[in-house]
A and B are shown apart, each in its own frame.
Chain A
């Protein structure tokens, strides 16, 4: 299975990279852009065929390592 894990700073946690990117986009003329958030996407192969079990594993990986839940939230996908 292909796993995808998205990690973002939580809403309410200041994303200074997002702010900088937003400012740069405005500078290029895209004035309609707002609330830019910069996150991470991790992709990897995962053994097994049970998508629900895999999602459980991915969530455990996020809680233990892939995300710092003090500041980040995450979303997992399997395909």
Chain B
């Protein structure tokens, strides 16, 4: 069966088409764009992508307004059913604001927007998002955000670490993220939020193809399920 994905589109999303192209290029299948005012998602999805950008102009807090969009109720329901959800950059912020992932993203400690290729260490290669990375220890993707400084209180952080929910760490911390955290999954393992962009690093012409195995991992997880 062809892979079926949906990419959410909020006012201010700017990586939505990148995400669609990334999925189509790396794993093929059908990718639907879903406007945030929709109340239902297409049926039978294998993946829901919440793309990067500046939803609602980052008003109030990054991701705060988007987390209350009608479509997010459907995303929460699908996530509870075990459907894979990937939030990249602003998508990670939206997942934290909506309560689907623990923690929050603060202003970068250096106060600057960080925009550059970045090296990530794969911390957990047993997730449905990372199984295709094999023995790769580190990968390169690109970073592009002003509020990527992951924060969680001590108790939450201990739980995230103990439960192997840290999926990616920065090789060199660019933004002050606690424990160098670049990406985490929820306790169930079906919701991944990450600040670096696999959707900007899925083929060699983009400078790195290291984002591609992330999407391929999801296909593998369906075949072995």
Using CB atoms and an 8 Å cutoff, list the residues of chain A in contact with chain B: 9, 13-14, 16-17, 20, 65-66, 68, 70-71
Query: Are the CB atoms of B153 and A70 closer together than 8 Å?
Result: yes
Supposing A16-B107, A70-B103 touch, asked if A65 and B153 sit within 8 A by C-beta, the answer is: no
Supposing A70-B152, A70-B153 touch, asked if A17 and B111 sit within 8 A by C-beta, the answer is: yes
Asked if B171 is an interface residue, CB under 8 A from chain A, the answer is: no
Using CB atoms and an 8 Å cutoff, list the residues of chain B in contact with chain A: 60-61, 64, 68, 96-97, 102-104, 106-111, 149, 151-153, 156, 176
Supposing A20-B111, A70-B151 touch, asked if A65 and B104 sit within 8 A by C-beta, the answer is: no
Query: Are the CB atoms of A14 and B60 closer together than 8 Å?
Result: no
Query: Of B64, B102, B152, B176, which one neighbours A65 at CB under 8 angstroms?
Result: B64
A65: chain B residues at CB < 8 Å are: 60, 64, 68
Supposing A65-B60, A68-B97, A70-B104 touch, asked if A16 and B151 sit within 8 A by C-beta, the answer is: no
Supposing A68-B97, A70-B153 touch, asked if A16 and B108 sit within 8 A by C-beta, the answer is: yes
A9: chain B residues at CB < 8 Å are: 106
Query: Are the CB atoms of A66 and B111 closer together than 8 Å?
Result: no
Supposing A65-B68, A70-B151, A70-B152 touch, asked if A16 and B61 sit within 8 A by C-beta, the answer is: no
Query: Are the CB atoms of A68 and B151 closer together than 8 Å?
Result: no
Query: Are the CB atoms of B60 and A66 closer together than 8 Å?
Result: yes
Query: Are the CB atoms of A13 and B68 closer together than 8 Å?
Result: no
A66: chain B residues at CB < 8 Å are: 60
**In whole angstroms, how far apart are the Cα atoms of A70 and B153 in the complex?**
7
**In whole angstroms, how far apart are the Cα atoms of A66 and B97 in the complex?**
11
Give A12's nearest chain B residue, CB to CB.
B153
B61: chain A residues at CB < 8 Å are: 68
B96: chain A residues at CB < 8 Å are: 70
Give A19's nearest chain B residue, CB to CB.
B111
Query: Are the CB atoms of B97 and A14 closer together than 8 Å?
Result: no
Query: Are the CB atoms of B106 and A14 closer together than 8 Å?
Result: yes
